[in-house]
Amino acid sequence: MNRIQTTFRQLRRTGRAALMPYLTMGYPQRDSALSLVPVIAEAGADLIELGIPFSDPLADGPTIQAASQRALENGMSLKLGLAQAAALRAEGTKLPFVLMSYFNPILQFGIEHIARDASAAGIDGIIIPDLPPEEADTVQPLFRAVNLDLIFLLAPTSDAARVGIVTQRSDGFIYLVSLVGVTGMRDRLTTDLTSFVNRVRTATSKPLAIGFGISTPEQAGQVACLADGVIVGSALVKAVGEATDPVAAARSLVSALRNGMDCHGSTNADRGTPLGAFEVGGQ
């Protein structure tokens, strides 16, 4: 059992949902993650998603695309990202790290090498959005051998067969995409999110974390009533990119998200509450 699995297990015992912010490594400055990650951990994050920039992203919206381009210009790479993760571990950061990278950089790095080096750097799980589970037969055994969770995504359009495949293959947790489209902040969350979550819950007891479109403490609190984890990316990337003091901006937003989730009073028993009860419209 690695840090991801332990964290979700502990949070389930206390009836709390996990907060998992996303950062683009190398943004806004090459070494920004070294100062941002500890502050995010202190502000209430339970896991953190470390995004490796890629020139041709599949699932990222304008905010993260722009951040990735800047990060690439700053010299960020998969190798440097792992080195920074290792430095954060050496400095005492203990929360789980989930690496997000597209398959091309991993293939160029070498699958066996990424398994070895990511584990050595203190990475606990990896999300590869453009790697479907049917094509992961070579990758997943190498990751499992070094206790790395390979985490797969499900979209609202996933049918029962797809839900069955992903819930069986995904390790650590299952990433539920809240909407059809790319990452980015939304004014409203889709009203059919409850039925989507319930469909997946009938197929697995693994933790479910929801991402895409969550940007405010209120939305985070609403999603915490449905899922085991809340993933916030574009809002945090935007906040640190626009701030004169990125560290202070990260601390403020993550604290507000955590408070929004905790003050909402969500427990395991609450999860499954229809989003309509919170007056959340579709988009």
Catalytic positions:
49, 60
CA distance 52 to 72: 9
Residue whose structure tokens are 């985490």? 151
Rounded distance between C-alpha atoms, residue 34 and residue 32, angstroms: 5
Q: Which residues pair with 151 in a beta bridge?
A: 127
Alpha carbons 93 and 43: distance in angstroms, whole number? 13
Residue pair 200/154 in contact (Cβ under 8 Å)? The answer is: yes
CA distance 181 to 276: 21
- Percent helix, strand and coil across the chain, each to the nearest 5: 45, 10, 40
**166/211 Cα distance (integer angstroms):** 16
At residue 97, the 3 state secondary structure works out as: strand
- For strand 149-151 and strand 97-100, is the pairing parallel, antiparallel, or unpaired? unpaired
Whole-angstrom distance between the N-terminal and C-terminal Cα of the chain? 38
Backbone angles phi, psi at 6, to 5 degrees: -65, -40
Length of the chain: 283
Sheet with 18-24, edge to edge strand ranges: 149-151, 125-127, 97-100, 48-51, 18-24, 229-232, 208-211, 174-177, 153-154
